[in-house]
Amino acid sequence: MLGLRRASGLEAPRTVQEDAGQQGGPMTGRPVRRRVLAEVEQAGGWPVVLARIASGESVVAIARTFGVSGNFFGWLLNQDPARRALAIEARCAARGRAVRRNAEGAVAGAVG
């Protein structure tokens, strides 16, 4: 899954339908949650969101594209333990790229 390995000992992330509680029919008390989960699915699902995080995009910026706060989207992202572990891994991957870019810039500045 986009270079992100699954954390050991955790079950697979839940699908958007499972998150939305679609097993027995639509939930009536959480319209914003349902809307965002549907939009995440339309955008390609959680793997696409995790790839955006891994590319360095902030959760707040991603949340804005779905019309919700960063806190709400972070809560939604972290609800599933397996998805939370993958999100942490994606953030680490993004930080690793940023550290490499900064180091390369420092080396280029020192050489030039």
Longest dimension (CA), the chain: 64
List, in sequence order, the alpha helices (H) in 2-69. Answer: 16-19, 31-42, 46-54, 59-65
**Dihedrals phi, psi of 54, to nearest 5 degrees:** -65, -30
CA distance 67 to 56: 19
CA triple 23-24-26, angle to 5 deg = 95
**What is the pLDDT, as a whole number, of residue 33?**
94
The pLDDT assigned to 41 comes to 96
Per-domain residue ranges for the chain? 17-111
Measured CA to CA, the distance from residue 82 to residue 23 in angstroms comes to 20
3-state class of 15 per DSSP? coil
Instruction: Tell whether the model's pLDDT for residue 105 goes beyond 50.
Output: yes
Q: What's the pLDDT tens digit per position in 16-75? A: 656 655 555 555 679 999 999 999 999 999 999 999 999 999 999 999 999 999 999 999
SS3 label, residue 84: helix
Radius of gyration of the chain (CA): 17
Distance between CA 16 and CA 27 in Å, rounded?
13
pLDDT score at 102? 60
How sure is the predictor about 11, in pLDDT bands with cuts at 50, 70 and 90? Answer: low
